[in-house]
Amino acid sequence: MLSTTHQSIIDATENYVKQELAEAEGGHDWWHIHRVWQSARQIARHEDVDPLIVELGALLHDIADSKFHDGDEEIGPAKAAAFLRSLQVDEAIILPVTQIIRHISFKGGNEARTYWSAELAVVQDADRLDALGAVGIARAFNYGGFRNRALYDPAIAPDMHMTKEAYKTSASPTINHFYEKLLLLKDRMNTATGKALAEERHVFMERYLEQFYREWNGQQD
């Protein structure tokens, strides 16, 4: 359970993040944060973690996404730290929270993991869950629209080896994103709770893709 002081820090952070993300694109708006926050709390109940670090990490994890800030990875952690200092939050809490923001979008693959904590594991699972299932599908097409990408193009095969940089500017249709990222996530979950929730959403996405191709190919049942 969180103490009253801790709860007031969380309430203040919730209000701050809501304000900061008022103009954000639909897949990264306050409601994304809200879903990640709720999932993180749910997963944290089964893990040995500091709940304050988990909740603040979830609330602040996309405060300045580098995708929308010319790739600058340090704006988010710096903004979060300045905000938490204004609330006089202990540095022993601020540091692990900024580390979560810095390291949450570690993609696996060939990148070396340079930081790890049980709290990061929980928030990262919660963030990944939001890329899966019905909400994940909605976010993918929303992001594809934001980048002006095609829904699908049978002539463009998924590219599993694109670098992070190339990926941002590639014209990869949104359906390809399922193969390039979304369907790989269930095997990258950190916690048992996260894995179980991811499985369910994964199966739903597979069903969705079957139906998508059925409709695309004009097959009548």
What Cα–Cα distance (Å) separates residue 183 from each residue in 25, 137, 189?
Answer: 23, 11, 12
Whether the CB-CB separation of 40 and 58 falls below 8 Å is answered with yes
By CB under 5 A, residue 125 contacts Ni ion: no
Smallest gap from Cβ 15 to ligand ADP, in A, equals 22
End-to-end CA distance of the chain: 53
- Of the candidate residues 9, 16, 17, 27, the single one contacting ligand ADP (CB under 6 A): 27
Query: Closest-CB residue for ligand ADP?
Result: 139
By CB under 6 A, residue 190 contacts ligand ADP: no
129 binds, among ligand ADP, Ni ion, none (CB under 5 to 8 A by kind): none
CA 16 to chain centroid = 19
- Candidates 9-17, 43-51, 69-77, 174-182; binding stretch for ligand ADP (CB under 6 A): 174-182
Rounded to 5 degrees, what are φ and ψ at 69?
A: -135, 50
Give Cβ neighbours of residue 139 (< 8 Å, ≥ 6 apart).
Answer: 26, 27, 32, 130, 131
| Interactions with ligand ADP, residue window 102-161 (CB under 6 A) | 105, 127, 131, 136, 139-140, 143-144
Q: Which residues bind ligand ADP (CB under 6 A)?
A: 27, 62, 67, 105, 127, 131, 136, 139-140, 143-144, 172, 174, 177, 182
